[in-house]
Structure 1
Amino acid sequence: MPGGGSGSAVGRGVAMTRVGGDRWRVTRPWPEPLRPYLHSYAGYWEATVSPFRVRIVPTGRAVVVISLAAPFARAHRLRGTGTAEHVVGSLVAGLEDGPRVLDHPGGQEAIRLELTPLGAYRLFAVPMRELTNRVVELDGVLGPRAGELVERLSAIGDWGTRFDLLDAALLARLERGPAPAPEVRHAWRLLARSAGAMPIARITAEVGWSHGYLVRRFTEQIGLTPKTSARVLRFHRAVGLLARGAVDLNEVTSACGFYDQAHLNREFRALADVTPGELAAARVAEGAVSL
């Protein structure tokens, strides 16, 4: 295990970086074939047992958490009609349009993946709308072989070997997964590249489908409607600008396409249950706000 430095290379391209207290982030460059499907891929472990709570805010990404030790104890959506979801193992989280709080008992050791929506559609091989605003057990999506994979990963102490095993499993499943419709892929690319700023009518025209048909197919393969996806992507860009620090709210409002600061504030309340100022003051990492 690493010593007292802020970062440590442990061989085979694996690096460990301290991310706060006795919590470490473990990374290795992803294989080239995985890169179109992932936003992040990292292991985490804690040297001491310290319970924590984080608020997850919408990012326009799906998440897989493979728990190799203690899992999250509870996943509670702050808005909407959903009840608390008790997670006793590894989990899948679909795209969200509101905030969620996760409680962990401490002693975390896990691998966390952030997937593009279409990467998740291909990996999970289910309609993404079935996972929208939900947190479910990993084997409930990927089947019983997912549990076998988690057991094998847990039994391995070397992070490089863990990543080798998981890389092979991901590539094999992605190769068998459903291919997204080219029109949906193009619509998502247009939305994502504009950070939600491109009008839906223009996207519909470029794709060549009717508005209603685009909404149905897009929601099936992405998990959110085009309009809601645009809201989430605008919000996510604003969060990124605020995380850099010393950014004027007027600049964020203009750069992200909000009508005015009142609109910016309403969207932050709706999507994260915080004000822009509160979020800017918090430490945000991979869509999680420490509480």
Structure 2
Amino acid sequence: MPVVASAGVAGQGVEATRLGDRWRVTRPWPARLRPFVHSYAGYWEAAASPYRVRLVPTGRAVVVISLGEPFARIRRLGDRGPDSTVTGSLAAGLEDGYRVCDHPGGQEAIRLELTPLGAFRLFAVPMSELTNRVVELGDVLGPEAGVLVERLETTSDWGARFDLLDLALAARLERGPLPAPEVSHAWNLLSRAGGAIPVGRIAAEVGWSQGHLVRRFTEQVGLTPKASARVLRFHRAVRLLTRDGAHPTDVAAACGFYDQAHLNREFRALGGTTPGQMAAARVAEGALAL
């Protein structure tokens, strides 16, 4: 049920939708941010209930600006190292596997999904340093992260919050490093094809050797072209499976999998689940409730 200008929601174009015990607040983001920002939304919980979600790869970097309780634990299954100990707002690079996140309840936050090259400009660090990692937002944005979070916390109106966020993002992106045009072109080719394009063809298209393409692409995107193609193909399959009447065999063929068995193996490897379970759960923004 969309609701405009209620519960602290105001400003032109701002809408709030209740999803169970959680509210989701959205507004179209400015055109100048669209090449870099895939989406953003605010959240707050009407009832503070602990929950656990599985986050699956999407081919996007993520920023979560915590205005309430942060995640209690974030871990990648199979990792031998300790769980992530993020205590507040966070940034995550591209993933080629899934994470399980526990939250104590009482979340209020803004979640952004960034294109990999948008994240490269925003964070101003090699994206390869953030691959399969979750870090404190201040580790990539520096002291200005704390200033931004504090200003957002003390602003209760969501329209005004989004105004602050838009200004901060635009200023940071304006002075961020520019990705190589060849890497931008390679990413556009991959994403438009949903991962279904050979790396050799991409290298020939951009005029680089495969080795040079892999090195520069991995530095600025975070995953190799081959791993990125795998994630993008998986993500496209997830989207298609959520459509009414979608059949795994048809989705496998449309996304370039060898057969349904190949599709099943990739869903187990990248999402820790099956295509049927993913479709039934209606995964949203890379999160699958557990």
TM-score (norm 1): 0.96
Q: Gaps spanning 5+ residues in structure 2: where?
A: none
Aligned to 2:262: 263
Q: Distance in 1 between matches of 2:279 and 2:160?
A: 38
Residue 8 of structure 1 corresponds to 3
Structure 1 residue 257: Cα displacement: 0.3
- Match for residue 49 of structure 1? 48
* 1:72 aligned partner: 71
Say whether residues 1:211 and 2:205 are aligned partners. no
Q: Name the residue aligned to 1:18.
A: 18
Q: Give 3-state SS (helix, strand or coil) of 1:30's partner.
A: coil
SS of equivalent residue, structure 2 residue 102 = strand
Structure 1 position 245, deviation (Å) = 3.1
- Whichever residue aligns with residue 201 of structure 2, its letter is R
Q: Tell me which amino acid in the other structure corresponds to 1:14.
A: V
**DSSP 3-state at the match of 1:195:** coil
- Counterpart CA distance in 2 for 1:247 and 1:46 is 32
Matches for 1:227-238 after TM superposition, within 5 Å: 227-238=226-237
- Aligned position for 2:32: 33
Question: What whole-Å deviation, never above 9, does each CA across 1:54-77 have from its counterpart, x for those lacking one?
Answer: 100000000000000101111010
Residue 202 of structure 1 aligns with an amino acid whose one-letter code is: R
- Look up the SS of the partner of 1:113 in the other structure: strand
Provide Cα deviations, 1:141-181, integer angstroms capped at 9, x if missing partner.
11012011101110111111111111111100000000010
In structure 2, what is the Cα distance between the partners aligned to 1:177 and 1:238?
33
Counting only pairs closer than 5 Å after superposition, residues 1-291 of structure 1 correspond to structure 2 as 6-10=1-5, 11-12=10-11, 13-19=13-19, 21-291=20-290
* Helix, strand or coil at the partner of 1:284: coil
Secondary structure, counterpart of 2:35 in structure 1 = helix
Code of the residue aligned with 1:8 in structure 2: it is V
Is contact 1:283-1:290 (8 Å) kept? no
Q: CA RMSD in A?
A: 0.9
> Shift of residue 83 of structure 1?
2.9
| Displacement after TM superposition at 1:243 (Å) | 1.1
Q: Name the CA distance, whole Å, in 2 between partners of 1:186 and 1:79.
A: 34
User: Structure 2: how far apart are the matches of 1:222 and 1:245?
Assistant: 33
Q: After superposition, give the CA deviation of every residue in 1:24-50 in whole Å (9 maximum; x if it has no partner).
A: 110111111011111111100011111
- Pick which of 176-185 and 148-157 moved more: 148-157
Which residue of the partner structure matches residue 3 of structure 1?
none
With 183-192 and 38-47 compared, the bigger mean Cα shift is at 38-47
CA distance in structure 2 between the aligned counterparts of 1:239 and 1:26, rounded to whole angstroms? 24
Return the alpha-carbon distance in structure 2 between the equivalents of residues 78 and 240 of structure 1: 23
More deviation, 140-149/127-136? 140-149
Q: Which runs of 5+ in 1 are unaligned?
A: 1-5
CA distance in 1, matches of 2:29, 2:281: 29
CA contact (8 A) 1:54 1:101 kept: yes
User: Identity of paired residues, percent?
Assistant: 73
Give the CA deviation at 1:82: 4.1
Q: 1:36 aligns to what SS in structure 2?
A: coil
CA distance in structure 1 between the partners assigned to 2:271 and 2:21 by the alignment: 27
Conservation of the 8 A alpha-carbon contact between 1:245 and 1:280: no
CA distance in 1, matches of 2:101, 2:73: 6
2:218 maps to amino acid: T
Query: In 2, are the aligned partners of 1:121 and 1:178 still within 8 Å (CA)?
Result: yes
Q: For structure 1, which segment, 223-232 or 42-51, has the greater mean C-alpha deviation from structure 2 after superposition?
A: 42-51
Q: Helix, strand or coil: the match of 1:285?
A: coil
